Chain A
Amino acid sequence: MLEALSYPFMQRAVAAGLMVAFLASYYGVFVVQRGLSFLGSGLAHAAFGGVALGLLLRREPLVVAVPFTVFVSFGITWVRQRTTLASDTVIGIFFAVSMASGIIFLSMQQNYTTDAFSYLFGSILAITRTDLWVTGFVVLLALTIQPLWGRWAYATFDRELAMADRVPVILDEYILSMLIAVTVVVSVKVVGIVLISAFLVIPAAAARLLVHKFSTMTWLSILFGLSSTVIGLWGSYLLDVPSGATIVLVQAAIFLSCFLAAIGLQAGYRRRHHSETER
């Protein structure tokens, strides 16, 4: 790994991977606890529409994808708040419309396939210095507004109680969905559109299996996100396989370990409870 880190492209890959992992696993706890796991996929496909529009307009694709994806995330939040439709239904509609738009945009230009594929599956080794600055800015933004964690957590637990306590829940939902949308877009190069939702969902879900406090879940999710990125990048370098997919498989291994540990802990608790009852 140390040898690999001597290459500038690998240094950029590790830095970008760690920043994206931090962002996705931090926001992932809200995504998982709000039952919005499909949101990651939906926004990633919205990002695809944005990237395709960028390619069509011959602009930097991610520069176009950011406002496009944020716009879609606001659309999802707006429709969810104003209708009784289930979240997955609303996300599913925006998902399909964004994807369809992306396909139309791509079909309107030639030589699209190579560019589009690099965004679909990620290309962590092609991370540029500009990508790093942009991702760094998004991390800084997340750290600056981390005092909102408490309000988001409260509304995640019970939206109505939070509103009764004058928490600006609706505004907070727009802010959170915008930040998740931006996170998805900056993650596109690292993991690819196809696998982004795993970054949002798996570390947080694995953490949830082990803990009974939301704050601990948040820390553990970040830890799982960061460690799976380091191990995944190292593995992909050693085995010469795609980095995004390798990271996701490491995350899956962590999830499986947590799942087995949770089952073991529950069985242990039941045994202790049973023997105490018998005594």
Chain B
Amino acid sequence: MIPLPPSKHNHSSSFNFQPQIGIYSGKGASHSWLWFAEILDRMGCYDVVFLTEKDIVERGLEGVHVLLMSGGDTFAIAEGLGEKGADRLRSFITQGGLYIGTCAGAYLPLRSSMPYLNWFNFIDVKISNISRRLSEEERSLLERSSCSSYGDDFIYHVVREEVVLKMINGSLGNRGEEIVAPLYGGPSILPSEDIEPIATYKGFTQKTKFLVREDLAVKTLIGKIAVGKKSMGDGEIYIFGPHFEHPHYPLCNLYLKEKIFKHLKKGRQMGKNFFYEEKELIRGDSLKGYLKDLKRGLSNARIQASGMSDFNIEWLIGNKLYQSEKISVFLNFLWDKVRKIETLSELEMDGARLRQCIEISKSLPRNIQMIRRGIREGEETTFLAKGLFENLKLLSYFFLNLYFQSLLSLKSH
């Protein structure tokens, strides 16, 4: 956990950030929050802070103008944030914040009676992809891997990969009426007075992977709300069933960018900014040495993960399935970011935090090796995988906070 000094932070620190975009990266997040980080990085938007539930609960969202909540395990997000976290979110939005939720982040604010989720009843809508709307025969067509438990019911997913959306009321401007976006378990929402539809599911493409019979997919998705908006107090909630932040879908990214920057231009004062206490700024050869050490750990882990590619394995961690290739998603993402900054001669980073990153990176190859050996011996490896993904997330959280802060500082100089 990056220490976020509550009130006695060092205002005279040479770093004085005003992060405006927060990305949730807590225990309920899977890996798609990295996509948000990627597209913001591509846009040259470094005014970004990564937040765990602990950050949100203990520190609140003061200083954050936009909160991006991506995919993962909705129950774990809700449980992690708890009632206090829900209050923090509510205050954030009603005081003028923009909440953008995709996939699990889109389920979170929907009305629910389930424990934990019922603290977040921000939007009074129902979803179509819930098993209670299916006949017995239709239920029997579903595969376990395409369903997530939801009390006595379950949430089911009818397709993966690409879907075609119809954008309503010219929301794409002169870019037409349709947009193609990737769907990985996000909700399809039934019309309600409590939500303004922005886009509905319209159809499929050659790349759509059907998880059920096509007629059931049509029944569940087509015409339902894929993207919706609700105003709440001075703020807004946007929810996206599909992952508009996926970096392979630039038109979707552009749409998100417009929403984010339009909101930021409003220039609302959101209270005190986030501050990080920088203890030990390093640069030049010293920084290069640290980054090389980090690369060493990442490279060894990447190669260990590459050796896992023969194992077709997935783990159920919480309510979320993690495939083994997700290990490389984290590692390659971090690798690319380190590669990007290692040539920036003027860059300064916090040595103490980099050391934390290096320590975690060193543990990763061993984590992966133990999993591989476990699989080979036919042992249960979910516990090990859980630990590995926690470490990967923790490292990403530490490093990306450093990365964006350092680039922001470089840019501002």
Q: Do A and B bind each other?
A: no
